[in-house]
Amino acid sequence: MNKKAVIANDHGAVDLKNLIADHLASRGYDVVNLGVDDQQSVDYPDMANRGAKEFFKGGYELLILCCGTGIGISIAANKIHGIRCALPQDTFAARMAKEHNNANCLAFGGRISYKEPVTDMIDAFIDSEFEGGRHASRVEKMMRLQN
């Protein structure tokens, strides 16, 4: 059985979304694409909400959200109860997002020029495991801030 991922994007990240979806498929993921496929303007908070709702139906390993910068959609996602969305800028940050923060969502910007490929950041995240231990209590504290 393949692993599953959800991806959602606004008009500022159509090409990036397609690159990510293809990459995830090459890694054996079934990708549920809830994003847009053209440049017609949509609101990134709506896309974050759409992606999170599908993710919380269960059975998904990962949620990836994309907008022009990744900033707006990550802020919106982090307002949704249960989401821990990271906005990594390199592979180290992507790995730490999983190992230390147990992030369940990544955000990227279609208009950002990254120093490392987004696909490398995704691989670093996917190939990492949450370390638990002292990080578990910190994640619990973080999640209690939602209440």
Indicate which residues carry an active-site annotation.
Answer: 67, 100
- Whether residue 108 contacts residue 74, with contact meaning beta carbons closer than 8 Å, is answered with no
What token pair was written down for 36? 């847009």
Report domain extents, the chain: 3-144
Confidence check: pLDDT of 145 > 80:
yes
**What are the two backbone dihedrals, phi and then psi, of residue 80, each rounded to the nearest 5 degrees?**
-90, 125
pTM: 0.95
Say which CATH topology domain 3-144 has.
Ribose 5-phosphate Isomerase B; Chain: A, (3.40.1400)
Residues 32-80 pLDDT 10s: 999 999 999 999 999 999 999 999 999 999 999 999 999 999 999 999 9
Residues 97-120: b if buried by 16+ CB within 10 A, e if exposed: bbbbbbbbbbbbbbebeeeeebee
Residues 67-123 pLDDT 10s: 999 999 999 999 999 999 999 999 999 999 999 999 999 999 999 999 999 999 999
